[in-house]
Amino acid sequence: MRLQDLIENIQNSVLKKLDSSKEFSEHEINDIAAKVGLSALKYGDLSNQVTKDYIFDIEKFSSFEGNTGPYILYTIVRIKSILKKAGTEKNYCGTHVMHEPKSIYERELMLKLSKFNDSVEYSTYENAPNKLCEYVYDLSNAYNRFYHSSKIISEGNIEQRSSWLSLSSLTCKVLETSVDLLGIEVPERM
Report the CATH number at residue 130: 1.10.730.10
> How much is the CA Rg of the chain, to the nearest whole Å?
17
Number of domains in the chain: 1
| Residue 190: inside a domain | no
**pTM above threshold 0.75:** yes
| Residue 44: inside a domain | yes
pLDDT in tens, 125-153: 999 999 999 999 999 999 999 999 999 98
Q: Cα–Cα distance between 61 and 158 in angstroms, integer?
A: 40
CB 141 within 8 A of CB 56: no
The angle that helices 116-125 and 158-181 make with each other, rounded to 10 degrees, is 10
For 168, the domain range is 3-181
pLDDT at residue 129 in the model: 95
| Residue 187: inside a domain | no
Label residue 29 left, alpha or beta by phi (over 0 means left) and psi (-120 to 50 means alpha). alpha
Q: Cα–Cα distance between 90 and 33 in angstroms, integer?
A: 34
Q: How far apart are the first and last CA of the chain?
A: 28
| Residue 189: inside a domain | no
| Residue 29: inside a domain | yes
Helix (H, G, I), strand (E, B) or coil at 164: helix
Percent of the chain with pLDDT over 70: 89
Q: How far is CA 134 from the centre of its chain?
A: 12
CB 112 within 8 A of CB 139: yes
Which band of pLDDT confidence, cut at 50, 70 and 90, is reported for residue 95? low
pLDDT at 21 exceeding the cut of 60: no
State mean pLDDT over 26-47. 88
Residue type, 162: S
| Residue 186: inside a domain | no
